[in-house]
Structure 1
Amino acid sequence: MKIEIWSDVACPWCYIGKRRFETALAAFPHRDSVEVQWRSYQLDPTLPEHYDGTELEYLSTRKGLAPGQISGMFEHVAAQAKGEGLNYRFDDVVVANSFTAHRMIHLAATHGQQDAAKERLLSDHFEHGKDIGSREYLTSLGLDLGIGAGELAELFSTDKYADAVRQDFEEGRALGINGVPFFVIDRKYGLSGAQAAETFSEALEQAWQESHPLIMVNTAGSGDATGEVCGPEGCVV
C-alpha cells in the first residue's frame, strides 16, 4: 500500500498531521507493507527567498490578518502541537521560501533519507528557529543525513530536482488538492488536514481490506465451500 503526502515545510498543521499519521501507522498491523512518499506543496510560492520580518508580521501584511487574530491562531496551533509532543515557537520562526527545502527533500530521497529530511526541516523550522531557506543550514542538514558535500554544492549551483518539485505541484493540482497536509492512499482515498490518529487508522484499515479482500477457500473435491457453522438461528447439525 502506498501513501503519498502533499505537505509544505512551512505549514504548522503539516507537522501535527505527520505526528498523528505516524501514531496510526505505528499501530497498523501491516505497517511494514506501507510505502510513504512525501510530496511537495507550497502555501506561498511568491514568498521571497528571505522575508525581513516575523511570522506574525508576514501573516499580517501579506495575508491581511489582524495581529490579535494571528496571535490567537498561534496559541491554538501550539496547543494542538503540544498534544503531539511538539514544541512550537512561533516567535522564533524564520520566514523563508521553502522551494529549495523541497529540492533538498527530493535529494534526500535518493539516499533513503526522505522522511528524516522532512522531520528535521519541520522541527527546525517550528521548534528551533532555523532558516530553512539558508544554504548554510541546508548544507549542514544534508551532511547530517550523510549526503556528500559535492551533491549538496550541486543543489545550490544548479536547479536540480526543481522539475521534480514542480511535478509534485502539478500532480497535486490535478488531484484537486488546495490545502495541506493531504494524504492519498493508493491514489484511491484522500484525507485532507491533520486528522485525528483514529481517523488515519480507520482509513488505513479500510484501504487495506479493500486491496486485500478475503478469499474463500474450498477444499478440493468436497463439493461444498463451507463446513458446519453456528449462526443467529442456531447450529448446523
Structure 2
Amino acid sequence: MTDSLKIDVWSDIACPWCFIGKRNLESGIAATASDEDAPVVEVTYHSFELSPDTPVDFDGDELEFLATHKGMERKQVSEMLERVTSVAAEAGLEYNFDVLKHTNTVKAHELLHFAKAEGRQIELAERLMSAYFTEGRHLGREDELVSLAGEVGLDTDKARDALRSEQFLEAVRTDQAQAQAYGITGVPFFVIEGKYGVSGAQPADAFAQIVRQVWNERVETVDA
C-alpha cells in the first residue's frame, strides 16, 4: 500500500492567485480520480503573509492599496484586477474587488492552524478565501473569523480562545521560516513530496500531470 502523496501549499488568504491555484489544484486532483491507480493526495496549507505590515483596518479599497501602498499606477492596477477577475471566473470563482476589505491576515493564518489541529483546515481555507474575495467580509476582525470558523463546523469558543491566546502564532512563524528556507518569495507555491516545487496558479491539467507523474514514481518504487 502506497502512502498518500503529500502536497504542501504556501499561500495567503488575501492572495487572489492563491484561491485560483487552490481551485485548479483541486480540479487537477479530481481529474485523476478515474485513473486505474488513482493517486491518494493529502494537501496541507501553510502561512505566507504577502503584506505583513498592512493594518487591520485599511482606509481604502484594493485598488487604492495597490496603487499607493505598492507604488503601482492606478491604470495598471485596474487592468490587473480585471485580468485576475477574468482568470478567476475561468476557474469557477467570482471575485468582487469593489467590496473587498484589505486587512492584515496574520489572525486568519492562526485560525487556519487551529483548523488544521481540528481536522478542518481545507474547509476553512475555502471558506476564508470565498468570504474575502466574493463576499467582502472583514477577515482581520476576531468576530468575523470566529463566525466563519463556526460555519465550517469548528467550535467557536475554542476558535476565539485560540486567537486571543495566540496559541498558533508560532506555527505561523514556523511556516514563514520554512518558506524562506525554500526560497519562496511569492505565492501560491506548491511543494510536492518535499522535493518538487511548483510556483504560481498553474492550470488544472498541469497539476493533474505532475500528480500522476509523482504518484507513478511512488508506485514504481514500492513495487520494485
**Which TM-score bucket, shorter chain as reference?**
over 0.9
- The whole-number CA distance in structure 1 between the counterparts of 2:159 and 2:68 is 34
**Alignment check: 8 A CA contact 1:96 1:133 kept:** yes
Please state how far the C-alpha of 1:146 moved relative to its aligned partner. 2.3
| Counterpart in the other structure of 1:221 | none
Q: Are residue 83 (structure 1) and residue 90 (structure 2) matched?
A: yes
- Identify the residue that residue 217 of structure 2 maps to in structure 1: 210
Q: Does 1:71 align with 2:78?
A: yes
Is residue 151 of structure 1 aligned with residue 155 of structure 2?
A: no
* Residue identity in the other structure for 1:136: D
**Closer, same or farther in 2 for the Cα pair 1:31/1:144, shift >3 Å?**
farther
8 Å contact 1:25–1:31 — kept in the other structure? no
Per-residue CA shift, 1:114-133, capped at 9, x if unaligned?
01100011111011101111
Q: How many residues are aligned here?
A: 216
Q: CA deviation at 1:35?
A: 0.9
The offset of 1:188, in angstroms, is 1.2
Greater relative contact order structure (CA < 8 Å, 6+ sep): 2
The answer to whether the 8 Å contact 2:187/2:199 transfers is: yes
One of 123, 126, 129 as aligned partner of 1:119? 126
Aligned equivalent of 1:233:
none
RMSD of aligned Cα (Å) = 1.4
C-alpha distance in structure 1 between counterparts of 2:39 and 2:198, whole Å: 21
Q: TM-score, normalization: structure 1?
A: 0.87
Decide whether the 8 Å contact of 1:11 with 1:43 is kept in 2. Answer: yes
Are 2:47 and 1:14 aligned?
no
- Would you say 1:191 and 2:180 are equivalent positions? no
1:187 shift after superposition: 0.6
Question: What is the CA–CA distance in structure 1 between the aligned matches of 2:200 and 2:181, rounded to whole Å?
Answer: 18
State the distance in 2 between where 1:170 and 1:51 align.
26
Matched-pair contact (CA < 8 Å) for 2:110–2:163: no
**Distance across 2 between alignment mates of 1:192 and 1:168:** 17
Q: What CA deviation, in whole Å up to 9, does each residue of 1:79-120 have, x standing for no partner?
A: 000111111111111010010001111111122110110001
Measured in 2, the distance between the counterparts of 1:202 and 1:59 equals 34
Matched residues in 1 for 2:104 and 2:90: separation? 28
Greater C-alpha Rg: 1
> Where do 5+ consecutive residues of structure 2 fail to align?
none
Task: Map residues 150-189 of structure 1 onto 2, 5 A cutoff.
Answer: 150-189=157-196
- TM-superposed CA distance for 1:143, in Å, is 1.6
Unmatched 5+ residue regions in structure 1? 217-237
